[in-house]
């Protein structure tokens, strides 16, 4: 398993190209599985369920992807985790279990930083309940599989500019908002999150 953590903003096409090559190499055993933690410059991505009406204002570049889900935002202050695993080799050919495992990984990692994130029935991703009682999204999940090898992955809001979400209906959900560790008063850095993610990986995903 290779862990990559990038300090610089990574262009979306470059990240996609890396994932495409890596999953091809994993299939032929030319490379190891990989988790890549990074940040993108501001952009929107559209999943396979994205509705045109949910793109309210294309204020940033918009990329169509093959991942599941709808529109989401990526940008500085949001940690993206691209996860490339061979589920067949791991004996876990179950997409729902894989998504729940990603959720559990984030739940444990955020708990280590002092934040309780929760699942909600019928909604992919992780949610927190604010002081006003409103449920806001703290982490998004969108995955794709090819020959049972995973790519794309998760995004977790540390301290992004939440105003940038105004150009879309995030994940097609109008009735709930988005939040971040910083907005919730959690004093954690990208490096703190990276450390928590790496530490809790083995508690969910076996070698």
Question: Which residues are identified as catalytic?
Answer: 171
With b for 16 or more beta-carbon neighbours within 10 A and e for fewer, the 127-163 pattern comes to: bbeeeeeebbbbbbbbbbbeebbbbbbbbbbbbbebe
- Provide φ and ψ at 61, rounded to 5°: -55, 145
Strand ordering across the sheet containing 62-64:
62-64, 43-46, 71-74
Show Cβ contacts of residue 206 under 8 Å, excluding neighbours closer than 6 positions: 90
Give the dihedral sign, CA 180/18/6/191.
positive
Gap between the Cα atoms of 39 and 189, Å rounded: 13
The DSSP 8-state label assigned to residue 53 in this structure reads G
From 194, 199, 68, select the one nearest 142 (Cα to Cα): 68
């Amino acid at each position: 398993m290779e862990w990559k953590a990038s300090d610089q903003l990574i262009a979306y096409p470059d990240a996609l190209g890396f994932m495409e090559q890596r999953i091809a190499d994993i299939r032929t055993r030319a490379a190891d599985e990989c988790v890549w933690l990074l940040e993108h410059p501001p952009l929107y991505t559209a999943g396979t369920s994205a509705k045109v009406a949910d793109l309210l204002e294309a204020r940033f570049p918009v990329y169509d992807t093959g991942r599941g889900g709808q529109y989401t935002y990526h940008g500085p202050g949001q940690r993206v985790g691209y996860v490339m695993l061979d589920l067949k080799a791991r004996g876990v050919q179950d997409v729902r279990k894989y998504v729940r495992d990603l959720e559990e990984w984030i739940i444990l990692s955020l708990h280590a930083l002092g934040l309780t994130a929760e699942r909600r029935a019928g909604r992919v991703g992780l949610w927190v309940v604010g002081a006003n009682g409103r449920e806001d999204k703290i982490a998004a999940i969108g995955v794709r599989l090819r020959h049972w090898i995973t790519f794309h992955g998760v995004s977790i809001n540390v301290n992004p500019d939440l105003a940038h979400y105004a150009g879309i209906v995030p994940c097609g959900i109008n009735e709930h908002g988005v939040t971040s560790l910083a907005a919730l008063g959690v004093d954690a850095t990208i490096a703190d999150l990276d450390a928590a993610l790496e530490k809790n990986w083995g508690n969910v995903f076996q070698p």
